[in-house]
A = this chain, B = another copy of it.
Amino acid sequence: MPAGEFRYPSSPPPETEDDEGWVWNQIKEEARCDAESEPALASYLYSTILSHSSLERSLSFHLGNKLCSSTLLSTLLYDLFLNAFSTDPSLRSAAVADLRAARVRDPACVSFSHCLLNYKGFLACQAHRVAHKLWNQSRRPLALALHSRISDVFAVDIHPAARIGKGILFDHATGVVVGETAVIGNNVSILHHVTLGGTGKAGGDRHPKIGDGVLIGAGATILGNVRIGEGAKIGAGSVVLINVPPRTTAVGNPARLVGGKEKPAKHE
């Protein structure tokens, strides 16, 4: 189907001064429109989006519902998330940047509310950011309990110590594994089944460092404390054990640079 058939604008408008407010208004507008056209979803959309006064409340409610269990109650998780999002504006702006990333970079993403409600990669990433905050506050048992629920519910396994920038798209997201000392820059796109892992040979700082604007294809496995330069592209199914220079492409198992190590082909 041509993308234009759908009723939402085909690309989001540029960022405004109050970007969070603008995106939240957009989400509520979309939810109202969907609730009207689909009565079967009206109650779900009301409880998850329309009854809330802000993006942080809606997101906290939705994450609490998704991640709760009979022993980790949704109310406890709601309070935990809301407290984190309310007191840390960087968590909110990262969430908004991630919503924009999905909307701009994923042709299958039809609206902000679609991403907020349905993208397990988006939800896992927001919950991870809260787990990471708890980890840095030395509330590690709670950070690890949250990590475990994210891995059970979304099949996305990001160690709470891993550092992740903003404007991140975890597309499809099932099976993603990100190790304890991994670092991911801004505006990175990571497909499903991607591993940022260790080689098993070293302790300490043992996981990949991913530069800004990198694209990592489905099923790629990047192992060890290697550096993937900004704007680099990693082919689907690659096994990467080497540094990849900025704006170059690595493919294959084991991965080699396209154009060779001496003269890698740069793009853009």
Q: Which residues of A contact B (CB under 8 A)?
A: 1-3, 6, 34, 37-38, 40-41, 43-44, 47-48, 65-66, 69-72, 74, 76, 80, 107-108, 110, 114, 117-120, 139-142, 144-145, 147-148, 151-155, 157, 159, 161, 172, 174-175, 177, 179-180, 189, 191-193, 195, 197-198, 200, 203-204, 206, 215, 217-219, 221, 223, 235-239, 251-254
Q: Judging by beta carbons under 8 Å apart, are A145 and B174 in contact?
A: no
Inter-chain CA distance A189–B72, complex, in Å, is 30
Inter-chain CA distance A233–B20, complex, in Å, is 49
**Which residue on chain B has the smallest CB distance to residue A10?**
B203
Q: Judging by beta carbons under 8 Å apart, are A65 and B76 in contact?
A: no
Inter-chain CA distance A172–B34, complex, in Å, is 34
Q: Judging by beta carbons under 8 Å apart, are B177 and A172 in contact?
A: yes
Q: Judging by beta carbons under 8 Å apart, are A1 and B148 in contact?
A: no
Q: List 10 A-B contacts (CB under 8 A).
A: A47-B71, A65-B69, A107-B180, A108-B159, A117-B144, A193-B193, A200-B217, A219-B221, A219-B239, A253-B253
Q: Judging by beta carbons under 8 Å apart, are B34 and A141 in contact?
A: yes
Count this chain's copies in the assembly: 3
Inter-chain CA distance A134–B114, complex, in Å, is 16
Tell whether A153 pairs with B154 under 8 Å between CB atoms, given A80-B40, A107-B206, A219-B219: no
Set of chain B residues within 8 Å of A206, measured between Cβ atoms = 107
Contact partner of A177 (CB less than 8 A), chosen from B192, B235, B237, B254, is B192
Contact partner of A221 (CB less than 8 A), chosen from B147, B148, B195, B236, is B236
Q: Judging by beta carbons under 8 Å apart, are B145 and A118 in contact?
A: yes
Set of chain B residues within 8 Å of A151, measured between Cβ atoms = 120, 172, 174
**Which residue on chain B has the smallest CB distance to residue A180?**
B108
